[in-house]
Amino acid sequence: MSQRWPATGPFLLERLEPLPGTGKPSAIDKRAAQGGVWLGRDGFKGDRVADRRYHGGPDRSVCHFPAQHYARLARQFSALAGCAVPAFGENLSTRDLDERAVCIGDRLRWGAAVIEISQPRVPCVNLDRRHQAPGLARTMAQAGLTGWIYRTVQEGAVEPGDDLELIERPLPRMTVASVWRAYGDEEASLDTLADLAQAALLARQLRQVFVQRLESARNRRDQTRLFD
């Protein structure tokens, strides 16, 4: 099972900075750590979070965005020319992994910490504002270039240059890409919704979305049957 990948990071931001065009505080502009950083349950020590409704917390301690996505997005958005990791606010990046290659529940060792994939990242319109690229978040969502989020299951220090090592894959069919497709599919099957609603390793907030959609789909099915 053990596999290793070179990784870059950790990246963090110790002081919130204004988001261009809005003046609102943002933590997008991460910087490379100059040494080892402690990764706790809520994220890296010293890393700031601007809006805890959508970022940070036990299910969202680390954000991973694949480095190879930058070139693809730069072909569609000239404003991204020259952008590189970590311009999308990620804490961690790799070149050899994407959303089709990793699964919900994957456990990976990163330095002395162990992290577990909990959900796809949901692209935010703040990326459009940060890079002055209208439509960027929508394009990322439609193309499935989302990246993903981890929870911390074992706290520990992470050093720059530490590799990622896969140590467990309990849900090999539940890729990040497949979960993202289901999230955006209003016609997802009852079986798909049921699998996701019951996936204990999926982030609680996202799992609740699938629980609600499953209940609504079952109600529609039952109402239809009344008239069969």
Q: What is the mean pLDDT of residues 148-173?
A: 98
* Cβ(27)–Cβ(19) below 8 Å: no
Q: Tell whether the model's pLDDT for residue 223 goes beyond 80.
A: no
Poorest-pLDDT segment among 53-62, 83-92, 189-198: 53-62
- What DSSP string runs through 33-66? -SS-EEEETTEETT---S-TTTS-STT-SEEE--
| Residue that has been written with the tokens 């162990």 in this structure | 114
pLDDT band at 56 (very low <50, low <70, confident <90, very high): confident
For the stretch 21-31, pLDDT in tens is 777 889 899 99
Q: What is the DSSP letter of 225?
A: H
Residue 193, Ramachandran bin (φ over 0: left; ψ between -120 and 50: alpha; else beta)? alpha
Who wins on pLDDT, 145 or 217? 145
Q: Is 108 helix (H, G, I), strand (E, B) or coil?
A: strand
Tokens in use for 107? 């456990």
Q: What is the mean pLDDT of residues 88-113?
A: 98
Rounded CA separation 171/155 (Å): 23
Q: Tell whether the model's pLDDT for residue 17 goes beyond 90.
A: no
Which residue, among 92, 73, 180, 91, has the nearest Cα to 131 in the 3D structure? 73
pLDDT of residue 135: 98
Q: What is the mean pLDDT of residues 28-39?
A: 96
Tokens in use for 84? 């590189």
pLDDT of residue 54: 63
Instruction: Give whichever of 51-65, 143-157, 209-223 has the largest mean pLDDT.
Output: 143-157
Please give the share of the chain, as a percent, with pLDDT higher than 70.
96
Q: Sketch the domain layout of the chain as residue ranges.
A: 4-170
Strand order in the sheet with 156-158: 43-44, 37-40, 156-158
Q: Does residue 10 have a cis bond before it (omega within 30 degrees)?
A: yes
- The second-level CATH assignment, the architecture, of 4-170 is Beta Barrel (2.40)
For the stretch 114-139, pLDDT in tens is 999 999 999 999 999 999 999 999 99
Q: What is the mean pLDDT of residues 100-107?
A: 98
pLDDT of residue 104: 98
Q: Tell whether the model's pLDDT for residue 224 goes beyond 90.
A: no
pLDDT of residue 49: 83
Average per-residue pLDDT for the chain: 94
Q: What is the DSSP letter of 78?
A: G
Q: What is the mean pLDDT of residues 78-105?
A: 97
